[in-house]
Amino acid sequence: MTASNDQALSLPGLQPVRRGTAILSSRMQGERVYAALLVPALVLMLVFYVYPVTRVLWISVTDPAPGLGNYALLFTSASVQRMILTTARIACITTAITLVLAYAVAYALTFSSETARRVMLVGVLVPLWISVLVRAFAWVALLRREGVVNNALVGAGLIEQPLALIWNELGIVIGMVHYMLPLGILPLYSAMRDIDLRCIAAARGLGASPGQVFRRVFWPLSLPGVIGSGLLVFIFSLGFFVTPAILGGAAR
């Protein structure tokens, strides 16, 4: 350290300024390190996400001829419009059924005992860890004409002919709802867990019936979770491939 620096440090009032500068410089160095740590992730994003998506966008306006001809098909091609309607219809039905079932399960999870909650959470999470392909083929084994469900129904005398439960829209919806349930339950449960249960106790204390408590307190407070869960399931449903390919009519 130089003599002038020693002098400056010894002067009252200047020492905190130098210490502050040192802290600021160390923080800036820390920020640079964090920024450097982000570089590999950023490069991966650019190479494996941004570039392919941009390439797809580019092809959509250049193949077979430059222009918006392909996009015009959205409004002029009957097959494209039919496909959009089918996708939207199946995604909407799947989302609605998933939300109803997921809400009931998330509600039960919120108000059950610790042990029951653990068992139920395992039940919710285990299907999430099983491959979508395995689950789809399991549904084929259950729902085909000679499957477990049709055999049981025919055996019990409830139906004479096996029902068409797969290779149609019903099969797709069954398979997709099964896949989407954990994705619907977990955000809903997370939203319900954040609800202050003292609000419910207060409503009950003020004389509200259980139905009124649900309708006027619990449901409005859980609504952000319903919206989030619904949009998430809808987004996943829009681009679903494996289940519709195996359980849908296009496979036949």
Partner 1 sequence: MMAAEYINVQIHDLVRWGLGSMIASTLVIVVGLLVFLLGRAVDIGRLFGTSR
Residues that bind partner 1 (CB under 8 A): 53, 56-57, 59-60, 62-64, 69-71, 73-74, 80, 83-84, 86-87, 90, 172, 186-187, 190-191, 194, 224-225, 227-228, 231-232, 234-235, 238-241, 244-245, 248-250
Nearer to partner 1, 18 or 194 (CB): 194
Secondary-structure breakdown of the chain: helix, strand, coil percentages, each rounded to the nearest 5: 80, 0, 20
Q: How far apart are CA 149 and CA 18, in angstroms?
A: 78
- Peptide bond between residue 64 and the one before it cis (omega within 30 degrees of 0): yes
Least gap, CB of 47 to partner 1 (angstroms): 17
Q: How far apart are CA 177 and CA 36, in angstroms?
A: 42
- Tracing tokens 């419009």 back to the chain, one arrives at 81
In three-state secondary structure terms, 130 is coil
Nearer to partner 1, 99 or 232 (CB): 232
To the nearest 10 degrees (0 to 180), the angle between helices 78-111 and 69-76 is 80
Nearer to partner 1, 143 or 240 (CB): 240
* Two tokens, residue 193: 């867990």
Choose among 165, 162, 132: nearest CA to 146: 162
At position 203, the amino acid (one-letter code) is A
Nearer to partner 1, 19 or 89 (CB): 89
Least gap, CB of 247 to partner 1 (angstroms): 11
Least gap, CB of 8 to partner 1 (angstroms): 44
Least gap, CB of 114 to partner 1 (angstroms): 19
Q: How far apart are CA 101 and CA 184, in angstroms?
A: 9
Least gap, CB of 15 to partner 1 (angstroms): 38
Nearer to partner 1, 150 or 187 (CB): 187
Least gap, CB of 73 to partner 1 (angstroms): 7
Nearer to partner 1, 31 or 194 (CB): 194
| The dihedral sign for the CA sequence 184, 186, 191, 195 | positive
